[in-house]
Structure 1
């Protein structure tokens, strides 16, 4: 257990805290927790790469923590009637497909592809959309749909790179 993996693990702890505060009408505290999770996501990757502490555990847990956090956020927004069911369904489908696909590929011993720039941009767009929705500001849903479209483009590129990498091996 190194520092980057500890930061990743902290995100799993932040998920129920986020839900607790958001669902109990404390959106500012919940948003702060979400932003802390975002910062730990940036830090764990930076520290792991910079210090040569990239591990198989971290490479599996980091995206899982990200996806579970995002699923928790969109579920909470759905429960509070901030997010339409169709947006939740599309996002949940993609996140769950990525989790299940990654697990299957990992346990079959296939090489995985690191997150691409579009995937990282999608995350930033999601955070902007969520912030807009938390404060009931205009454009939140539009920005979210832009993120959703971008997430599918990123997933397609990820899948093509994955196929190419594993075909070559």
Structure 2
């Protein structure tokens, strides 16, 4: 039976997702201050990332608990994840915190996923649910980024932050590509069954 709330737009989970998306340009402005030779606002940028992480958890939990899963929410939630990931990577690259190859590794995965989603649409399916592994990948990356920012600050915690930050970043990248491989297997299965039905 179709969820009666599926087509609603004005829900608290959707508002939380929309706030996360709106926070992306603010985050970029905060984190890029040193790039423009302005005083660092990394503390505020890290706080905004933490708030984004909390709202990412809450929007999905509340949507399921209150039976408010919507099409808009299914678009906004992963879009906010991708926007924060890409904007953070871009900012960290501009500040020489991460190398270009690491950015390309994660962007290549998003391009790969875009092809998968385009394939699904071509055979008449909407994008599949975000997997637990995909969420775990985002979780690891969203914890890695603030630690890498702390490592750039030159304080006494920098070495610890760098080690833990890169450990989370590498694990997050591995899970990111693993989730893409699982998603590809699901897309292939649907494509094969679509051919059989035709």
Q: State whether TM-score is above 0.5.
A: yes
Match of 1:145 among 143, 153, 170: 170
What is the root-mean-square deviation of aligned Cα atoms in Å? 2.0
Cα drift, residue 145 of structure 1: 1.8
TM, length-normalised to structure 2 = 0.77
The answer for unaligned runs of 5 or more in structure 2 is: 1-9, 34-39, 152-160
Which structure carries more helix by proportion? 1
- Aligned length in residues: 169
Q: Specify the alignment match of 1:158 in structure 2.
A: 183
Q: Name the CA distance, whole Å, in 1 between partners of 2:175 and 2:181.
A: 10
Match of 1:31 among 14, 23, 46: 46
Q: Specify the alignment match of 1:3 in structure 2.
A: 12
| Contact 2:120–2:187 (CA under 8 A) maintained in structure 1 | no
Cα drift, residue 111 of structure 1: 3.5
The answer for unaligned runs of 5 or more in structure 1 is: none
Q: Specify the alignment match of 2:68 in structure 1.
A: 53
Q: Specify the alignment match of 1:77 in structure 2.
A: 92
SS where residue 162 of structure 2 aligns? coil
Cα drift, residue 134 of structure 1: 1.4
Distance 1:157 1:4, change over 3 A: same
Greater C-alpha Rg:
2
**1:83-137 Cα deviation digits (max 9, x unpaired):** 1000011112223443564366357631432121211211221123213211112
Q: Specify the alignment match of 1:43 in structure 2.
A: 58
Match of 1:127 among 132, 137, 142: 142
